[in-house]
């Protein structure tokens, strides 16, 4: 299927590993001009060697000034942005009682405010051409209880933000949606680490919690992202789409 993404300028945060890297590969297959953002230059360079033709930007997405500089440099290099994928994210802490308040701030900065800030910057550019797509990578645990509380809270906020921004900018030709993955396995991800440390417990979780009987792959999330970014998904506005092998317990 031709998704009409050839020549589109795509920026992906957290693009050097896992879901972000898989998403970069899928956009490149469609002929898009792909750029990825990461914190570690060596990892970015290794990904650039693996995915020939992509551009790399080193930035700490936790830092507001670095986000500003990143976006300004990206526009200086590419003039426009067609697709922004806010993929960067991660969890910290433990229970509410045992997690320092500072960890809550960190989780919100990393998972939520970084996406809010970059989305605001992207929208200003997209409005000029009345065209664009923003996709926020959230989690099924932003829609229901589960996962670490700091992560759960931040992803819930991001899903809510997605809907608010989507209704605000759709009449200006910009679509905003979110993809909510379930448990995803990749080489340097959380579930691979848990499998290495506790194979029995991880296998029991898999059998108990995921009807599909396996973990998802980064490519399966990436394929959903690329479709949602395309005009083939033109009637998707403010949606939060579970991609989870049936793991979510919600009816919607």
The span from the CA of 136 to the CA of 131, in Å, is: 17
| pTM for the full predicted model | 0.94
The span from the CA of 155 to the CA of 50, in Å, is: 30
Task: For the chain, give the mean pLDDT.
Answer: 93
| Same domain as 118, residue 210 | no
| Same domain as 161, residue 64 | yes
> What digits encode the pLDDT tens for the residues 17-37?
999 999 999 999 999 999 999
Q: What is the pLDDT of residue 173?
A: 97
Number of structural domains, the chain? 2
| Phi, psi (deg, nearest 5) at residue 194 | -65, -35
Considering the candidates 57, 74, 110, 151, report the single residue annotated as catalytic.
151
> What digits encode the pLDDT tens for the residues 179-192?
999 988 887 767 67
| Same domain as 100, residue 139 | yes
Q: How many residues does the chain have?
A: 252
In a domain, 1, yes or no: no
| Same domain as 199, residue 122 | no
Q: Active site includes 227?
A: no
What number is the average pLDDT over the span 51-60?
Answer: 96
Domain assignment of residue 207, given as a range: 187-215
Q: What angle do CA 40, 13, 131 make, to 5 degrees?
A: 150
| Same domain as 150, residue 86 | yes
> What digits encode the pLDDT tens for the residues 60-100?
999 999 999 999 999 999 999 999 999 998 878 889 999 99
| Same domain as 191, residue 155 | no
The span from the CA of 147 to the CA of 137, in Å, is: 15
Domain CATH code at residue 114: 3.40.50.720
């Amino acid at each position: 299927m031709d998704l009409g993404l050839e020549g589109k300028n795509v920026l992906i945060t957290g693009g050097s590993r896992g879901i972000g890297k898989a998403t970069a590969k899928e956009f490149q297959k469609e002929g898009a001009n792909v750029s990825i953002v990461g914190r570690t230059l060596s990892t970015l360079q290794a990904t650039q060697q693996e995915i020939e033709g992509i551009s790399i930007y080193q930035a700490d997405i936790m830092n507001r000034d670095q986000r500003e500089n990143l976006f300004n440099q990206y526009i200086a290099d590419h003039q426009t942005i067609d697709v922004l994928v806010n993929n960067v994210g991660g969890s910290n802490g433990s229970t509410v009682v045992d997690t320092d308040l500072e960890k809550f701030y960190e989780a919100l900065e990393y998972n939520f405010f970084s996406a809010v800030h970059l989305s605001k910057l992207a929208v200003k550019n997209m409005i000029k051409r009345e065209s664009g797509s923003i996709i926020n990578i959230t989690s099924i645990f932003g829609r229901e209880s589960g996962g670490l509380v700091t992560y759960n809270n931040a992803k819930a906020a991001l899903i809510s933000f997605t809907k608010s921004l989507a209704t605000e900018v759709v009449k200006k030709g910009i679509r905003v949606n979110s993809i909510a993955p379930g448990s995803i396995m990749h080489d340097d991800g959380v579930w691979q680490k848990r499998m290495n440390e506790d194979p029995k417990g991880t296998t029991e979780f898999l059998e108990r919690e995921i009807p599909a009987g396996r973990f998802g792959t980064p490519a399966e999330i990436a394929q959903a992202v690329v479709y949602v970014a395309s005009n083939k998904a033109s009637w998707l506005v403010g949606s939060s789409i579970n991609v989870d092998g049936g793991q979510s317990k919600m009816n919607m």
